Structure 1
Amino acid sequence: MNGNIKPVAAVGAVVFNNGCVLLVKRKNPPAKGQWAIPGGKIMTGERMQETAEREIFEETSLVIKAGNPVFSFDVIERDENGKLQFHYVIIDLIAEYLSGDIKARDDAIEARWIAKKELSDLKINPNTRYLLKEKFDFY
């Protein structure tokens, strides 16, 4: 057991617009350097939808309306000695794009609307790839 590390709840928002999906290239772990669904940690007292709307604005400058959960998964990473580094429980919500011009900020190195045909050329996070392919036939 790793006494001080506890699971952290986080959400992502799956946002489509004009045949493209919103993805960010992550600056920090988990999935550092990979393209993934944008999102982040739920703050105490915050509803999942509020978190998704806040995080997407913080990372991309876009305004969205978050909906219901569509996918969930764990991210558990250990160092080379097996010591637990972090444990996230992530819930992805479907969301509607409302407004804004995309601009990478916060934990995003890049933020883009990505067409289905572009996905195979990018380093997509495996959980994001699975979600897009299995839940939305978008891969």
Structure 2
Amino acid sequence: MSRLYPDAPRVGVSVLCHRNGRVLLIKRGKDPYKDHWSLPGGLVELGETLLEAAERELREETGVKARLGAPAETFDSIQRDADGSVRAHFILTVFCGAYRSGPPEPGDDAVALEWIEPDRLDDRLTTPGTPDRIRRLMAR
């Protein structure tokens, strides 16, 4: 199942895990958006619910567990190359929740992680829309 130049959109999840007013972000280790800061997340596996995928991806990428509620937002992430061909297309559902347990450590696709205050997001290279999405969801 190719993530780059796919034959169909890929279904994924991301997690806004918060603690003491800060948000847990990972630095991506793979394309698309290698070296960009992002919410932890990844693709939904066959037979897995969106919530199960969100819990698994958060744990795999950060070692953390959170109290996740209902989906907070769903959006398209479409990246095109210079020729206009679709390089990547993800349909992502975002879950939000407070940190519950686990020592934060980068794992899986993450090369680094950090608890970041929402007002410091503009100083980072992030995946498209991430700072606005975090501020909007944290304001709820």
TM interval, shorter chain, is: 0.7 to 0.9
> Displacement, 1:117?
4.0
2:22 alignment partner in structure 1: 20
Cα deviation per residue 1:1-56 (whole Å; 9 max; x = unaligned)? Answer: xx961111100111111121011111123332211111110011111111011001
Q: Residue 21 of structure 2 aligns to which amino acid in structure 1?
A: G
Identity of aligned residues (%): 34
Alpha-carbon separation, structure 2, partners of 1:4 and 1:18: 39
1:130 alignment partner in structure 2: 132
Question: Larger deviation: 18-27 or 111-120?
Answer: 111-120
Q: Residue 99 of structure 1 aligns to which amino acid in structure 2?
A: S
1:107 alignment partner in structure 2: 109
Question: Structure 2 regions of 5+ residues with no counterpart?
Answer: none
Q: TM-score normalised to the size of structure 2? A: 0.86
> Displacement, 1:82?
2.2
1:65 alignment partner in structure 2: 67
Q: Partner of 1:134: helix, strand, or coil?
A: helix
Alpha-carbon separation, structure 1, partners of 2:6 and 2:17: 34
- 1:39 is the counterpart of 2:41: yes
> Is this contact kept in 2: 1:10–1:42, CA < 8 A?
yes
Alpha-carbon separation, structure 1, partners of 2:6 and 2:133: 31
Question: Structure 1 regions of 5+ residues with no counterpart?
Answer: none
Q: How many aligned residue pairs are there?
A: 136
> Displacement, 1:136?
2.1
Q: Over aligned residues, Cα RMSD in angstroms?
A: 2.0
Alpha-carbon separation, structure 1, partners of 2:34 and 2:43: 16
Q: TM-score normalised to the size of structure 1? A: 0.87
Question: Larger deviation: 118-127 or 44-53?
Answer: 118-127
